[in-house]
Amino acid sequence: MTQTEHRAVIGTASGRADEEVVAPRVVVGRPAVRENRLAALDGLRFLAALSVVLFHFIGQTRWAMIEIWGRPYQELFPEAHRWFAFGRLGVDLFFLISGFVICMSAWGRSPRDFFISRVTRLYPMYWIAIVVSACVIYAVETPFGRPNPRVLFANFTMLQVPLGVDSLDPVYWTLWPELCFYLTFAVVVWKGLSYQRVVVFCGVWTVAAVLAPAAHIPLLTLLINPTSAPYFIAGMAFYLMYRFRPTPLLWGIVAMSWLLALHFLLNPHGRNNWATWAPWRGWLVLVVTVFFVLIAAIALGWTRWIRWRGLTVLGTLTFPLYLLHDIIGMTVAHHFGRRMDPWVLVGVTVAGLVVLSYLVQRFLERPLAQAMRRSLRSAAFDLQPPSPRRPRPGRRL
């Protein structure tokens, strides 16, 4: 993965935005008008989440397949495995969408509103996912073992990466790049979003993403997230195209981000090691390029005809599906992988996870987020001490 407003989901991820996808499109000489929700972004977000889900079921590393299913992938998915391995690129699509959506949702908002929006979007569902995952891990046998409770407590903060603590669920790693993006982008929100400031922010972050690895400063690299930065940056540039109009400068930012994204992706010592995964590394270039083209189509207004409300519903399921699928799904595969046809098991489990995501989002996440939002909106953020408590009447001793 979360704009006059954009209600969508990523996540962590991705990515992550579940604000109302209704944005003003600004045309020179005309007042801003509200347009229909960007349903295409919701659809892309759900497809990104689904690709990650199927990657974990079908396309994981060879040793992970044995550990989870109890059988090698040659017996389970001999032909499909190498293709579903590309599903992990769905995370990069999350980041690309997130850059677009967060820039959209923050436009015209105060720092206070931006803070409340991001906190209430990320934390309620994340806390629910931790509770559900912890119940599964400590109640039944899973491929994830039973981590020390200290890991659980650290994960509740969402700061386990800088704390040097393992994530309770491996998919949580995407939330740290999102948090860093919010933290750094909040500086621009504080100054007030404008075309010039967002462009400067994109340029500074691009330079930092290139210099951070060479500087060998772990703290800088941890904050900059060089491998994820190009996607966020390109997403912001695409939103500026959508809000204003395409310019050579914005296309230059996108092109630079595309080149850097491919550089980090194909780096044999980077986050992704595709040495034994891909049938042809050229597919990586093709898939990432398609991601950029799809977001460009949205930015240029070519997808405005897509208005199916079902995509909006699917978009709200993305964050719950992403956070819940791994531990639950892999535990199901671990216990039933030898008893059922693998394709049937995958189909039934994925369908069940989608239903579970809907129920959790509808009856748990939404009420919790609304209550949290009301509480934060009534809170004071000016750092002034509260009024002193009045002494209770009573006898003096």
Give one DSSP letter per residue of 96-122, joined into a string: HHHHHHHHHHHTT--HHHHHHHHHHHH
Phi, psi angles (nearest 5°) of residue 140: -135, 170
Residue 392 Cα distances to 146, 385, 389, 395, angstroms: 50, 20, 9, 10
Q: pTM for this one? A: 0.88
Contact in structure between 333 and 352 (CB atoms under 8 Å): no
DSSP 17: -
CB 1 within 8 A of CB 14: yes
Question: How many whole angstroms separate alpha carbon 272 and alpha carbon 253?
Answer: 24
Instruction: Read off the tokens for 357.
Output: 């995501």
Residues 68 and 333 sit within 8 Å (Cβ to Cβ) = yes
What residues contact residue 295 under an 8 Å CB cut-off, 6+ apart?
44, 96, 97, 100, 234, 235, 238
Q: Is residue 74 exposed (0-12), middle (13-18) or buried (19+ Cβ within 10 Å)?
A: exposed
The Cα 199–Cα 207 span in angstroms is: 13
In the DSSP assignment, the letter for residue 5 is B
- Give the β-pairing of 14-15 and 24-25: unpaired
The confidence score (pLDDT) of residue 390 equals 74
3-state secondary structure of 170: helix
Sign of CA dihedral 203, 106, 246, 181: positive
Cα torsion at 7, 16, 47, 44 (round to 10°)? 50
Q: Distance (Å, rounded) from C-alpha 59 to C-alpha 68?
A: 12
The CA-atom distances, in angstroms, between 344 and each of 57, 128, 233 are: 12, 28, 40
Question: Which position has the token pair 């195209």?
Answer: 241
The predicted structure's pLDDT at residue 382:
67
CA dist., res. 349 & res. 139, Å (int) = 19
3-state secondary structure of 84: helix
Please tell me the predicted confidence (pLDDT) of residue 389: 72
**Which two three-digit tokens encode residue 369?**
């987020």
Q: Do 11 and 49 contact (CB within 8 A), yes or no?
A: yes
Instruction: Classify residue 22 by its DSSP letter.
Output: B
pLDDT one digit per residue (tens) for the chain, 397 residues:
333 333 333 333 444 444 444 444 444 333 333 344 699 999 999 999 999 999 999 998 888 899 999 999 889 999 898 889 899 999 999 999 999 999 999 999 999 999 999 999 999 999 999 999 999 999 999 999 999 999 999 999 999 999 999 999 999 999 999 999 999 999 999 999 999 999 999 999 999 999 998 888 888 999 999 999 999 999 999 999 999 999 999 999 999 999 999 999 888 666 665 555 555 678 889 999 999 999 999 999 999 999 999 999 999 999 999 999 999 999 999 999 999 999 999 999 999 999 999 999 999 999 999 999 999 998 877 667 767 777 766 655 4
15 sits in which H/E element? strand 14-15
For the record, the structure tokens of 373 come out as 């939002």
Do 97 and 40 touch, CB atoms closer than 8 A? no
Q: How many CB atoms lie within 10 A of CB 289?
A: 13
Peptide bond into 12 cis (omega under 30): yes
Distance CA 292, CA 2 (A): 18
